[in-house]
Amino acid sequence: MSKTADYAWLDGKLVPWANATMHISTECVLRGENVFEGIRAYWNEEQQELFTFRHADHIARLRQGARIMRMAIPYSDAEIEAASLELIRACNYRETIHYRPVVYFAEGELTHYLPSEIRTGFFILAFAMPSKTVQETGVKSAISTWRRNSDLASPSRIKSGANYHNSRLAYIEARMNGMGPPVMLNAAGKVAEGPGACVMILRHGKLITPPVTADILESITRETLMELARNELGLEVVERDVDRSELYVADEAFFCGSGAEVLPMVSIDHYEIGDGTPGEVTRKLQGLYNDAVRGRLEKYRHWLTPVWRGNAVKD
Ligand code: PMP
């Protein structure tokens, strides 16, 4: 979050940032009971346009997570998209941003309530978020001693606030050890994902990534890169379990996510990956991704929604 936005969208309307508050007794505050999305909108300088990236796919994932949580989202897809655009326009963003639609459980009397016994609310936040320079240099990663949440306990395919306590433990441990984002294994000891991004490796010319049954979030960036790798680089893409030791002999490895984008790993547990600099395929995927998200690849324009075009607010 590089600066505070002018507005947030809370329970049906735009509110000034300072007024976007909720009571300390809400389930959302007390137990992190929410499901959210992290969506990017990319600024295209040549076209002077901001494009949301795969908004509809993110909202479909939000609905999937809410369904597992037995939360009813109180707005339609069209209303959520209109509210997101309304917020982004009100904040007058003409730069790359990240926005977060969040469905949450609010005030309730009981702790083991049914969804009918509690108010379900909705809010959206938007922040400026430029692409990170660490994309160029890559990060030193390590295997976390923390296991990724199991599907039998707190499913990782739900992007719920509560799941990020697990992520934070892993991040903090890595940071205190002087490392970048860690790789988390699942309860079976196979590679799951990073605390906020999925993992991909290149071995023997194939792009390999853990399957959606490996206790990962069903990442939209992962899907995007699998498609770009197959279509644009002619790569064979394999979804299968990945062993810890495979990371140590991978030719290339990277994290991927809406926030992380394509983030090269240059070492894992002090094993240098490749020659210790971001790999060639990683670089190519980075380039393709960066072009696709900014509307520079006509073939993938269906993933984008322009924020400003045809809008009366445009100045
Ligand atoms: N895993 C986790 C735990 C994440 O928080 C994220 C970021 N949303 C991802 C993977 C990547 O998902 P996406 O590509 O949809 O942003």
Model pLDDT for residues 230-248, shown as the tens digit of each residue: 999 999 999 999 999 999 9
Could you report the per-residue pLDDT of 247-284, keeping only the tens digit for each?
Answer: 999 999 999 999 999 999 999 999 999 999 999 999 99
CATH code for residues 7-128: 3.30.470.10
- In this predicted structure, the answer to whether residue 312 has a pLDDT above a threshold of 80 is no
Q: Compute the distance from residue 37 Cα to the ligand 1 centre, in Å.
A: 9
Ligand 1 centroid to residue 166 C-alpha, Å: 14
Helix (H) or strand (E) holding 83: helix 77-90
Ligand 1 touching residue 198 (CB < 6 A): yes
- Residue 189 — pLDDT band, cuts 50, 70, 90? very high
Of 282-286, 296-300, 311-315, give the lowest mean pLDDT range: 311-315
**Confidence band of 310 (pLDDT split at 50, 70, 90):** low
| Residue 163 Cβ < 6 Å to ligand 1 | no
Q: What are the b/e assignments for 108-126, b being 16+ CB within 10 Å?
A: beeeeeeeeebebbbbbbb
Provide the pLDDT for residue 132. 82
219 C-beta closer than 6 A to ligand 1 = yes
Task: Report the pLDDT value the prediction gives residue 214, as an integer from 0 to 100.
Answer: 98
- The predicted pLDDT at position 60 comes to 98
CB-CB contact of 43 with 95 (8 Å):
yes
HSE-CB at 49 with a 13 A cutoff on CA atoms is 17
Q: Which pLDDT score, from 0 to 100, does residue 311 have?
A: 55
What pLDDT does residue 133 have? 83
Per-residue pLDDT, 2: 47
The one-character DSSP state at 112 is S
pLDDT of residue 33: 94
For the Cβ of 257 lying below 6 angstroms from any atom of ligand 1, the answer is: yes
208 residue type, one letter: I
Q: How confident is the model at residue 313 (pLDDT cuts 50, 70, 90)?
A: very low
For ligand 1, atom 4: residue with the closest CA: 196
Task: Look at residue 3 in the predicted model and tell me its pLDDT.
Answer: 59
pLDDT, mean of residues 155-174: 98
Q: 258: Cβ below 6 Å to ligand 1?
A: yes
- Closest-lying ligand 1 atom to the alpha carbon of residue 193: 1
**What is d(CA 193, CA 182) in angstroms, rounded to the nearest whole number?**
9
**What letter does residue 299 receive in the DSSP assignment?**
G
Question: Is residue 129 within 8 Å of 99, Cβ to Cβ?
Answer: no
Ligand 1: residue whose CA is nearest its atom 3: 196
Task: Give which of 25, 221, 167, 219 is closest to 104, Cα–Cα.
Answer: 25
CA distance 20 to 129: 20
Cβ of 217 below 6 Å from ligand 1 = yes
User: Do 134-296 and 7-128 fall under one CATH topology?
Assistant: no
- Would you list the domain boundaries of the chain? 7-128, 134-296
Three-state DSSP class for residue 2? coil
* Exposure class string for 163-180: b at 16+ Cβ within 10 A, else e: bbebbebbbebbeeeebb
pLDDT band at 16 (very low <50, low <70, confident <90, very high): very high
CB 256 within 8 A of CB 263: yes
C-alpha–C-alpha distance, residues 134 and 262, integer Å: 10
Is 62 near ligand 1, meaning CB less than 6 Å away? no
**Per-residue confidence (pLDDT) for residue 50, from 0 to 100:** 97
| Mean of pLDDT values over 7-23 | 96
Over residues 171-192, the mean pLDDT reads 98
Cβ(196) – ligand 1 distance below 6 Å: yes
Nearest-atom number in ligand 1 for the CA of 38 is 8
How many whole angstroms from 215 Cα to the centroid of ligand 1? 12
Select from 151, 221, 227, 262 the residue to mutate for testing ligand 1; criterion: most ligand atoms less than 8 Å from CB: 221
* pLDDT band (50, 70, 90) for residue 315: very low
Q: What angle do CA 135, 138, 140 make, to 5 degrees?
A: 145
pLDDT, averaged across the chain: 95
Does residue 296 have a pLDDT over 70? yes
Burial class (CB in 10 A: 0-12, 13-18, 19+), 187: middle
pLDDT at residue 6 tops 80: yes
Task: Please answer whether residues 264 and 282 qualify as being in contact, where contact means their C-beta atoms are separated by less than 8 angstroms.
Answer: yes
Record the tokens describing residue 25, joined without a space: 């007794």
* 114: phi then psi, degrees, rounded to nearest 5: -90, 155
Residue nearest to atom 2 of ligand 1 (CA): 196
Mutation test residue for ligand 1: of 100, 154, 198, the one with most atoms within 8 Å of CB: 198
38 lines ligand 1 (CB under 6 A): yes
ipTM reported for the complex surpasses 0.85: yes
CATH number of 134-296: 3.20.10.10
Share of the chain above pLDDT 90, in %: 90
Segment 85-135, tens digit of pLDDT: 999 999 999 999 999 999 999 987 777 788 888 999 999 999 999 988 888
